[in-house]
Amino acid sequence: MFSTRPAMTRQEQVSFVRAICSRIAGEIVGRIEINDIPESWDGRQLRIFLSEEANRICDPRRYMLHSDMEAYYRDKANYGL
């Protein structure tokens, strides 16, 4: 890994978040359009499914070291997130 991680600019952060959200939405909408999601599902089930899909696509265990996770939680606490 990098000794120091390259930082993203604010615009790169925005672009990254938009790309990930677009991917998640695209995959779910695609599954709805091919009837791969039960028609009976309303916002409650779709909210859970959306959360699960986001977790699957963004699983931090695939992309972050333990030290990265520690730094993330430290930053999150410092910013009150």
Backbone CA torsion sign across 42, 48, 54, 56: negative
**Would you say residue 47 has pLDDT above 60?**
yes
**Would you say residue 1 has pLDDT above 50?**
no
Residue 74 in domain:
yes
Residue 54 in domain:
yes
Domain with 25 in it: 10-79
Mean pLDDT of 11-30: 96
At 74 the pLDDT is 95
Residue 4 in domain:
no
Q: pLDDT grade, residue 2 (50/70/90)? A: low
Single out the residue of 80, 79, 59 nearest to residue 69, CA to CA.
Answer: 59
Residue 1 in domain:
no
Residue 58 in domain:
yes
Residue 60 in domain:
yes
Domain total for the chain? 1
